[in-house]
A and B are shown apart, each in its own frame.
Chain A
Amino acid sequence: MTTTSEIKPPNSDLSGYLGMDLLRFTTAGSVDDGKSTLIGRLLYDSKSIFEDQYEAIRATSEKRGEEYVNLALLTDGLRAEREQGITIDVAYRYFATPKRKFIIADTPGHIQYTRNMVTGASTANVALILIDARKGVIEQTMRHTYIASLLKIPHIIVCVNKMDLVDYKKDVFEKIKKDYSDFVSKLSKIDVQFIPISALKGDNVVEPGTEMKWYTGKTLLSLLESIDITHDQNLNDMRFPVQYVIRPMSHEYHDYRGYAGRISGGVIRKGDAVTVLPGGQSSKIKSIDTAGGMLAEAFAPMSVTITLEDDIDISRGDMIVKSDNQAETTQDLEVMICWLTDKKLQLNGKYYLKHTTKDVRCVIKEVQHKINISTLEKVEDDKTVGLNDIAKLSLRTTASLVIDKYEKNRNTGSIILIDEATNVTVGAGMII
């Protein structure tokens, strides 16, 4: 492997840091279920909050006459959010332990929650779903779980929060666990784990606490540190969307023509027989180049530059795949779309479409049905698609796309739609 650094750090702490991996997770919950408090608790107990940040929110909590230091204040970044006590937009938070670096996509619970949760979920390895122990599994829980499943987040952790308000009773936790498992069995298979917590008091977040001796599993942080994410990437089907063609035009690299991009799936090796889609020309991988030197192999999600044995016409938007494992080339797509804007979807309307590094236009041929995300039932009598709606569409593109199904590869199976008049991103689609 050529991915480790060449520097040997002077002490073990540093080598630990340089060897860490990265986990992205998103949080979902309804209003007042303690989501911001939980994130605040994770940051505070893992010592990721600095003294000046803590002092600022302590002073604000005191000014507002609140009994506890309101850890939720840490995540509300905009003036309007602080004034109105609400979260408007996805906020990203960062913390690290000696084992992992974490990126949290913190999505608000109410306004535009589907749009925001879909955004946060699109890159997440893990979804944290919060349930208020007093309320149990409610409609919101099912919606959040459905979205996590639709976006193919590989792992779900269900945090049964506010256990302090139900006297830390085991049977309350077990009942919620059973109710949730019954519901989730209707969805495609997901890795689900359950933890009883109190974000306010800190039980089972970073430290086990003293009140739930009956729970012998991991704390939330310990689980986040240990979940195996090496198989979250598709490492079987090599996909290389060409992003940019590098031509130095210099004396030293006179004839150099490199195809730069980020590997979207699988492993590339020098000498592999490859096909360039949608054109269909064949060649072999001559070299895998990086600024640090050539590699014998590279894998998703590395950014590299490859050169081919043959001089063929390739440009941005083409996809290089292995000749014995090709992707589908088509102009007709079926997608599950999440609509992101107030302006309704126009049937037979035209939109810009982005897929990997390819830009085309498309027309919406049909709205097959919408999904009622509370009951998971198909809605066939009302086909207007507005903000936060999820629907199955057929569309046709002006040029061929090289695609995989979303369930096979989140990178080559996803699209966005852009309004031609306003340039706003209006739809997020998963190819089925």
Chain B
Amino acid sequence: MKDYHLTHLKELESESIYILREVAAQFEKPALLFSGGKDSIVCFHLARKAFAPARIPFPLVHIDTGHNFEETITFRDDLASKFGAHLIVGSVQDSIDTGRVTEEKGFNASRNILQTVTLLDTIEEYKFDACIGGARRDEEKARAKERFFSHRDEFGQWDPKNQRPELWNLFNGRKNMGEHFRVFPISNWTEMDVWQYILQEKIEIPSIYFTHERECFVRDGVIYAHSNVIPLKPNEKVEKMQVRFRTIGDISCTGAVLSKANSLEEIVEEVAATRVTERGSRIDDKRSEAAMEDRKKAGYF
């Protein structure tokens, strides 16, 4: 018999496409949470493959903190118009203006945690019953416990100690009114898999993933992009650095890395050689050992 076997990237792709089609089949009103980061870009690419030659049967939802890298927003809008995708933006600024949330104060103030309220409000407004996200289990230890189909109660909460077991390829999306699911099609992918896949598929990504010169400053060992959303402390000085971003969140919680990587091949080599996790440059995870678990329980991504 011929040697029928798939490479690991093809097997992961096949699994993710299966999950995406399962979402379209089991839910009435799904949405794809789209941040403009590499993981959500890969999810979008997989969704295009899953439903070709038809269009993706759900809208993209971006929860916008208002503190974005300009390049990411341009990329998001270009992608939506190029593929005719329906884009819905939930604005954290609106949540602040209407008094739904209160802005943090101080040098390390971030809108990261405020996103949860905007996200849950957006889900309620549009009555989404399944939100597809690009979270991966290798990213963070609380996420290592996450299911593909993750049940959320009527308050949007995750109960990690009481999750539905997932066996074989049988995914249970049953729920009561007012509850919803978060679905993570690339759960089993690692950072390396994502970069390799972007390389293999020639997927376009925002320019700030590649090396560029940028005005930055260093705080607590993390390189921050200088912008008007993070006030400088008196001793901090801005200098030009050759950097790129390994992960993209909003400006206030995303650290840059010194890098000369200018192509996908060079990024893959850099990721292979690196000895620090990508979330090492995410300030949002550094607030406590259980920072991610606590945010997830409250309904975060």
Contact = CB atoms under 8 A, between A and B. Distances in A.
Partners in one complex: yes
Interface of A: 3-5, 7, 9-10, 13-14, 17-22, 50-53, 56, 75-80, 82, 88-94, 96, 100-101, 103, 115-116, 118-119, 122-123, 229-230, 233, 235, 243-244, 246-250, 252-253, 256, 258, 260-262, 267, 289-292, 299, 301-303, 305, 316, 340, 352, 354-355, 357, 410-411, 414-416, 418, 423-425, 428
B11 A428 contact: no
Interface string B125-148: 000000000000110011111000
A13 B192 CA distance: 13
A260 B50 contact: yes
29 contacts: A3-B6, A5-B7, A9-B199, A14-B265, A18-B196, A20-B7, A22-B6, A22-B12, A77-B141, A77-B142, A77-B143, A78-B141, A78-B145, A78-B160, A79-B293, A88-B161, A90-B165, A94-B188, A100-B8, A101-B193, A243-B18, A243-B25, A244-B21, A247-B54, A303-B17, A305-B52, A357-B25, A410-B168, A414-B168
A290 to B, nearest CB: 7
Contacts of A290: 49, 52
A292 B172 CA distance: 30
Nearest to B288: A79
B200 interface: yes
B220 interface: no
Nearest to B281: A52
Given A3-B10, A18-B7, A354-B172, A291 B165 contact: no
Nearest to A119: B165
Given A248-B53, A262-B18, A290-B49, A7 B199 contact: yes
A91 B145 contact: yes
B275 interface: yes
Interface string B48-66: 1111111100000000000
Given A7-B202, A21-B5, A50-B276, A92 B187 contact: yes
A352 B175 CA distance: 13
Contact of A50 (B144, B175, B280): B280
The 8 closest A-B pairs by CB, nearest first: A77-B141, A291-B49, A22-B8, A423-B174, A248-B54, A291-B52, A303-B17, A122-B167
Contact of A303 (B24, B50, B165): B50
Contact of B164 (A258, A260, A425): A425
A22 B14 CA distance: 12
B166 interface: yes
Given A22-B11, A244-B24, A52 B53 contact: no
Most buried by B among A5, A51, A244, A247: A244
Contacts of A262: 14, 17-18, 169
A183 B124 CA distance: 56
Given A248-B53, A340-B165, A425-B164, 14 more contacts: A5-B7, A17-B192, A88-B161, A92-B188, A101-B8, A101-B193, A123-B168, A230-B4, A243-B22, A248-B55, A250-B54, A289-B52, A303-B13, A357-B25
